[in-house]
């Protein structure tokens, strides 16, 4: 079942304690799409500038991702992010952000996009997310990401979004900020009370938590000895999760839990190398094998 994602497409500059990469392929829609494409057909909507290397589009298309919604803005420049990871490889600081074409981007869905029953709204302003939601008439499962910026400056619009989507995926620090509560269990419950049917709190190297009316659970991250670059882990998590749900064509409690586990496992590969490098070398079999290992770890 096709899955639609609207989000950022970026050129990232990443610094870690041991390495540095400039202008590598990144952005929420890119990591999400690539991760989800192991499970389900994916259609991507985003904007790039004239500096965008065509080979990146080729890479996505070779994976079967429908990039007809990837728009090149004449005279524009691609969104850029520069960040540095601390020695613990979990915390990071943003050194530079250049919105460029993302600043004015108003996503337009074509007919094939409008038919998608599964929709992921990557991090963007709640106003833009609401606009996409309005267009996606056939969407049966709508899940959004957000960030601290929107919680701080567009809380009302975010509140409106939360009343209209099925699921929200956000970081632990964002959940604490949104709920104004330092305890993650209470924070998750408070965000749930704002409207969505379920909430997923991403805890980076510590895994994820799930909240719905009837359920609350925690899943640890899959432990990996090689963490080269955590950029895109959260979007890969969401991609694995939504990809699995779209493949199943359902989103009951059992499907959601297995989807979270696939999200955890997909993200654990992403962090093992820069950009999409590790995912490019990956097969669906690798994902399933690690999922089986993860399931074994959690069985006692």
Q: Which residues form the interface with a copy of itself (CB under 8 A)?
A: 87-89, 182-186, 189, 203, 206-207, 209, 216-227, 254, 257-258, 260-261, 295-300
Contacts of 75 (CB under 8 A, 6+ apart): 49, 50
Report the nearest approach of a copy of itself to the CB of residue 268 (Å).
11
Give the residue with the Cβ less far from a copy of itself, 77 or 186. 186
Report the nearest approach of a copy of itself to the CB of residue 198 (Å).
15
Give the residue with the Cβ less far from a copy of itself, 107 or 167. 167
Three-state secondary structure along 146-199? CCHHHHHHCHHHHHHHHHHCCEEEEEHHHHHHHHCCCCHHHHHHHHHCCCCCEE
Report the nearest approach of a copy of itself to the CB of residue 300 (Å).
4
Report the nearest approach of a copy of itself to the CB of residue 294 (Å).
9
**Residue 169 near residue 145 (C-beta atoms within 8 A):** yes
If one counts every other C-beta atom within 10 angstroms of the C-beta of residue 214, the result is 7
> Which of 256, 164, 258 has its CA nearest to residue 212?
256
**Residue 268 near residue 290 (C-beta atoms within 8 A):** yes
Give the residue with the Cβ less far from a copy of itself, 165 or 261. 261
Report the nearest approach of a copy of itself to the CB of residue 252 (Å).
12
Give the residue with the Cβ less far from a copy of itself, 154 or 189. 189
Give the residue with the Cβ less far from a copy of itself, 18 or 94. 18
């Amino acid at each position: 079942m096709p899955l639609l994602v609207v989000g950022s497409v970026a050129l990232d500059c990443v610094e870690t304690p041991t390495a540095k990469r400039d202008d590598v392929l990144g952005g929420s829609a890119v990591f999400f799409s690539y991760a989800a494409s192991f499970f389900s057909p994916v259609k991507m909507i985003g904007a790039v500038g004239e500096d965008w290397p065509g080979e990146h589009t080729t890479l996505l298309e070779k994976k079967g991702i429908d990039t007809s919604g990837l728009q090149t803005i004449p005279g524009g420049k691609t969104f850029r992010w520069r960040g540095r990871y601390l020695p613990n490889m979990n915390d990071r600081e943003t050194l530079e952000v250049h919105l460029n074409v993302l600043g004015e981007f108003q996503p337009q869905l074509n007919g094939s996009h409008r038919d998608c029953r599964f929709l992921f709204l990557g991090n963007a302003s709640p106003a833009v997310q609401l606009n996409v939601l309005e267009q996606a008439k056939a969407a049966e499962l709508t899940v959004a990401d957000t960030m601290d910026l929107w919680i701080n400056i567009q809380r009302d619009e975010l509140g409106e979004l939360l009343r209209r989507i099925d699921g929200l995926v956000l970081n632990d620090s964002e959940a604490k900020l949104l709920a104004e509560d330092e305890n993650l269990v209470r924070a998750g419950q408070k965000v749930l009370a704002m409207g969505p049917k379920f909430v997923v709190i991403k805890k980076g190297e510590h895994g994820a938590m799930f909240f719905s009316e009837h359920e609350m659970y925690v899943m640890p991250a899959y432990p990996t000895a090689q963490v080269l670059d955590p950029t895109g882990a959260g979007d890969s998590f969401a991609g694995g999760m939504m990809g699995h749900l779209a493949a199943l064509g359902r989103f009951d409690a059992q499907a959601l839990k297995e989807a979270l586990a696939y999200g955890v496992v997909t993200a654990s590969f992403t962090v093992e190398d820069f950009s999409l490098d590790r995912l490019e070398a990956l097969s669906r079999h690798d994902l399933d094998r690690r999922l089986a290992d993860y399931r074994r770890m959690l069985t006692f």
